[in-house]
Amino acid sequence: MAAESNYWSRFWRRRLSRRRLLQTTAVTGAGLAAAGVVGCGDDEGGGGDTQPTATTEASPRAGGTFRGPLVGLSTGNPPSLDSQRQLTFLAQIPAAYHYSRLLKFGAGATKEVDGVTSVQIDFSNVEGDACADVPEIVDGGTVFNFKVRDNLNFHNVAPVNGRAVTAEDVKHSIDIFAAESPNRGNWLAQVDKVEVTGPKDLTITLKNPFGPAFQVLFGNNDGGPWVIPSEILDNKDVAGKTPIGSGPWIFDSWEPNVVIRWKKNPDYYDAPLPYMDGFEGLLTADPEQILANLKNETFDGSLWSADLWTRGRSELPQGQWFTGPEHVWGGAYFNFANPPFNDVRVRQALSMAIDRPGILSALDQPRATGGGSGLTHISQYDKFWIDPINDAAEFGPNAKYFARDVTEAKALLSAAGFPDGIDITANSSNIYGPGFGKQMEAVSDSAREAGFRMNLNLGEYGGYLSTTFLGDIPPDGIGLAPLIGSPIDPHNIIFAVFHPSSGRHNWGPKGAVPAADLPKANDPSPAGDADLLALWTEQAQEIDEEARAALLKDVQRSMAESMWLVPWPGVSTAYVYQPWVKNIRLIRGYGFGVETAVNMWLDK
Amino acid sequence: MRQYFIRRALLVVPTVLGVTLLITFLLQILEGNIADLIYAESATFNQELTKEQIEDDLGVNDELLGSRSLGIFVQWGEWMGGVAQGDFGEYFRSRRSVGGELENRIPVTLELAGLALFFSLIIALPTGVISAIRQDTLVDHTARSFSIFMLALPSFWLGTMYFVVVGRWDDWGLPQSIGDWLLPPSIYKDVWQDPEANFRQMWAPAMILGFALAGSVMRLTRSQMLEVLRQDYVRTAWSKGLRERTVVTRHAIKNAFIPVFSLIGVQITILVSGSVVLERIFGLPGLGLMLIEAVTQREYVAVQGVLLVVAAFVVITNFLVDMVYSLLDPRIRYA
């Protein structure tokens, strides 16, 4: 082990230096000369055999190892590295370092917000990853012809030893994903068949045209299949511990709760990328520890805790600060089997009681846009979003439900039979951290003025997730939480959080409603909203992006009125990098290893 | 003595078994299992994916996860049977061996607890003795205030504040060599791999954990010393004209330390539970972090494994303390 040899070699070198010192002293009798020998010994320990060269942004410098928290905000330790069979982001984030996927994405546009670079979510810039290019699409958007890159090889590590990736490898990876991944719901719902049509050719046929196919099925930013050699994938023990893929980084080691290490893949199809020799993703979580290490320059960068936003910027003034592109999106959600929230007026009143801009301002957290603004039900993707405050004219009359109006909120509550307001237990979990706690308190304080008296009940994560989160909410209660962290396409939010046929929908009553039973007449839940259900299906099958965006905006307008969930401001994630980290092209979490880290280089 | 030893030793096994059975039972009361979590965390359309399918994928079943009746005893029996053969089972998700994971984690927590105990004793025992023999002086008042201070400050707060403070060492103009010792290395190294880096990582959490223990040990040491110093045989020693050091070290300390020794045994549990928080703050891959993750992720087999180790550690430590206590104070074994 390299680290082991470091200490003991230092130790023996020190011993050796002392011997040299004695020898040299004995021979020359010159103490000064002897000290010089000791100095030489120590210099050898420095180990720097590369000469620094002057570089500019335009001339990337190869070498160096990036060190920083892999995730940053939570424990970061993956339960397993078998990313094909694990859905948690803790297992998906490492996968993008050592695995390829069918497609990847180029960086989105950036804009300056309050002196910080804000990265926008824009997945129009699709590129081939395992595949040479974006696929040929035929038959009205149902057939996708992929061609695997000619120069794509698995890592030169036993047992695959650098063999070429074939279409059969891709199909086998997909087959395992479709059979065993807890994230296979979309795949099963959309994909009809996968066929190998040549050594490097693969055809994927969908059941229906599917608008967000690139993002949701093939790009893996929402948990699609990774390309993994069968030698690894078929052995769950190996897949969970020592992954081998064809991505830009070769997995080196995983010390649970400590670090995951990767080395540069010298045979990467896009050589000379990656520029850095290695990446050390620390599985550390404590924000104070992260701050101390950034301050003392032992970390090169990190995802940043939103509740330390101001302090971080003042203590790390030299840092390069970014916000987004991820926004943790959430809201208040209900059990429609029980009063009072089965009455749309109560939900509308709650929405109008919340002072969203005031909360964002008071929390002094990084400013979010899109989904993080608390002004949408469905979108973290700016292209599909209308701002109901600043673009109220385009949004239409339902924009008023996002504007704070305490008088109107009280009137609605009174009309619903609660002139004196209502007492609510707001259930959530303590796992989301102090920043989330502050947000909920701000929401609670804000809503109180209109008559919503919330008692916050933060429970243990597992218990909360298996009850409240899935709609098992008591009559006097609501749920409050981030409901979905990863999806960047509105489709996944609609079909995971809201759709009645989604088993994990975040409203009560708990449990999936069979598609054949929809819509349900006179049902006070989304299962009874025939127009909205039709819009949801229509947007999924619309392959023209502009037309789909128009449909999604109609979905927003409809949901602004029904308020099946009352969104409130989420946290916009932030990142900080040391000044010597160059060429930072942030895209989003799951793709960081292949889309961002691969382009970065170190100027130190 | 032999009879006492056998009687106490025979109690160790059923106590540990009882604790493991209780743990198995309590885990069944927890809401939600691993399949619930995976199902709820899924971010995609789930119409064609049921919780039962996820349970099948994981290779778990109701008897193992959901039973609240006799299945608990079957599960416990099977698991204990495996443990008896050295097989602690596997994680549901990663199929990593729980036994292998415990093997990696136990030394970290033991080292932290051992160092914490060492720091607490070198602080508490001399302070307690000096405080007693200089009763009601400035030294005594200062020592007692310090012990209250140590008792009052929770380790998680001290741990967090530690990083807040040492993160600024560069601002204070301290040399790099001192900064390297103040700020723990960001990647854990075990003691055989790099003893220097290991100690740089361990000393601060061990000191913080030791503080929690030192306060109560110091106060008990002081009160026991005061009691012993008023005994007739100590007065006799003074009247013989013996020096203070001789009176204290030869006649007073041994008897004063008997209850203190017992307290240290009991406080081993504090060391183990305190390590849970500090391991997280300082990024030490010990049993505490393993337990937190296993509970959060509903990895019941791993939870059982950790708690078995902790229970066995506490029970055996207390057994050893009882044995030593009975050697120091023969009245115990005849009671």
Q: How far apart are CA A561 and CA A402, in angstroms?
A: 10
Q: Return the pLDDT at B63.
A: 52
pLDDT above 90 as % of chain A: 52
pLDDT band for position A275 (cuts 50, 70, 90): very high
Find the residue in A nearest to B169 (Cα): A296
Interface of A with B in 317-336 (CB under 8 A): none
| Spatial CA neighbour of A559 closest among A382, A426, A401, A450 | A401
**What are the strands, taking DSSP E only, across A256-401?**
259-264, 278-282, 301-304, 320-333
Q: How far apart are CA B329 and CA B247, in angstroms?
A: 20
pLDDT band for position A588 (cuts 50, 70, 90): low
pLDDT at B53 over 90: no
Q: Which residues of B touch A282 (CB under 8 A)?
A: 186-187, 283
Q: Return the pLDDT at A14.
A: 47
CB-based contact (8 Å) between A240 and chain B? yes
Under DSSP, the state recorded for B99 is: H
CB-based contact (8 Å) between B2 and chain A? no
| Of A26-40, A146-160, A271-285, A324-338, minimum mean pLDDT range | A26-40
| Of A142-156, A427-441, B85-99, B128-142, minimum mean pLDDT range | A427-441
| Of A214-228, A290-304, B188-202, B215-229, minimum mean pLDDT range | A214-228
pLDDT above 70 as % of chain A: 84
Cβ atoms of A244 and A256 closer than 8 Å: no
Q: Return the pLDDT at B46.
A: 58
pLDDT in tens, B260-303: 888 887 787 778 777 888 888 888 999 988 998 888 888 888 99
Q: Could A496 and B46 be called an inter-chain contact, meaning their C-beta atoms sit closer than 8 Å?
A: yes
Interface of A with B in 57-86 (CB under 8 A): 67, 75, 77, 79-82, 85-86
C-alpha B291: how far from chain center: 13
pLDDT at A274 over 70: yes
H or E element in which residue A565 lies: strand A565-577
pLDDT at A535 over 70: yes
Answer with the residue of higher pLDDT: B64 or A123. A123
pLDDT at B30 over 60: yes
pLDDT in tens, A147-171: 999 999 999 999 999 999 999 999 9
Q: Return the pLDDT at A287.
A: 83
pLDDT at A55 over 50: no
Q: How far apart are CA A278 and CA A597, in angstroms?
A: 10
pLDDT band for position A49 (cuts 50, 70, 90): very low
pLDDT band for position A557 (cuts 50, 70, 90): very high
pLDDT at A325 over 70: no
pLDDT in tens, B175-199: 888 888 888 888 888 888 899 999 9
CB-based contact (8 Å) between B175 and chain A? no
Answer with the residue of higher pLDDT: B71 or B120. B120
Q: Return the pLDDT at A61.
A: 93
Q: Return the pLDDT at A43.
A: 30
Q: Return the pLDDT at B253.
A: 87
pLDDT at A24 over 60: no
pLDDT in tens, A351-397: 999 998 888 777 766 665 555 677 788 876 778 888 898 899 999 99
Q: Return the pLDDT at B43.
A: 62
pLDDT band for position A42 (cuts 50, 70, 90): very low
CB-based contact (8 Å) between A255 and chain B? yes
Q: Could A286 and B45 be called an inter-chain contact, meaning their C-beta atoms sit closer than 8 Å?
A: no
| Mean pLDDT calculated for residue range B237-250 | 89
Q: How far apart are CA A113 and CA A316, in angstroms?
A: 18
Cβ atoms of A270 and A58 closer than 8 Å: no
Q: Return the pLDDT at B174.
A: 83
Q: Could A462 and B289 be called an inter-chain contact, meaning their C-beta atoms sit closer than 8 Å?
A: no
Q: How far is B119 from chain A (nearest CA, A)?
A: 23
pLDDT in tens, B313-332: 888 888 888 888 787 777 76
Determine which of B186, B192, B292 to mutate to test the interface with A (most A C-beta atoms within 10 Å): B186
pLDDT at A39 over 60: no
Bridge partners of residue A131, in order along the sequence? A148
| Of A32-36, A114-118, A570-574, B270-274, minimum mean pLDDT range | A32-36
Q: Return the pLDDT at B195.
A: 92
Q: Return the pLDDT at A21.
A: 39
Alpha helices, DSSP H, located in chain B: 2-29, 34-41, 51-58, 62-65, 71-84, 98-133, 138-152, 155-166, 176-182, 195-229, 232-239, 244-246, 253-282, 287-296, 300-328, 331-334
pLDDT in tens, A129-138: 999 999 999 9
pLDDT band for position B256 (cuts 50, 70, 90): confident
Largest CA distance in chain B: 90
Answer with the residue of higher pLDDT: A584 or A589. A584
Distances (CA, A) of A88 to A9, A178, A432, B150: 40, 17, 15, 40
pLDDT at A581 over 80: yes
The pair of structure tokens assigned to A557 is 């307008």
Q: Return the pLDDT at A154.
A: 98
Q: How far apart are CA A50 and CA A60, in angstroms?
A: 15
pLDDT at A33 over 70: no
Interface of B with A in 260-299 (CB under 8 A): 280-285, 289-290, 292-293, 295-299
Determine which of B37, B46, B48, B162 to mutate to test the interface with A (most A C-beta atoms within 10 Å): B46
Q: Return the pLDDT at A309.
A: 82
Mean residue pLDDT of chain A comes to 84
| Mean pLDDT calculated for residue range A286-307 | 87
Cβ atoms of A83 and A226 closer than 8 Å: yes
Find the residue in A nearest to B90 (Cα): A237
pLDDT at B219 over 80: yes
Distances (CA, A) of A409 to A193, A331, A348, A372: 51, 18, 7, 23
Q: CA end-to-end span of chain A, whole Å?
A: 26
Q: Return the pLDDT at A75.
A: 62
What is the phi/psi pair of residue A489, to 5°? -105, 135
Q: Return the pLDDT at A369.
A: 58
Q: Return the pLDDT at A559.
A: 96
| Mean pLDDT calculated for residue range A507-517 | 91
Q: Return the pLDDT at A533.
A: 97
Q: How far apart are CA A552 and CA A381, in angstroms?
A: 11
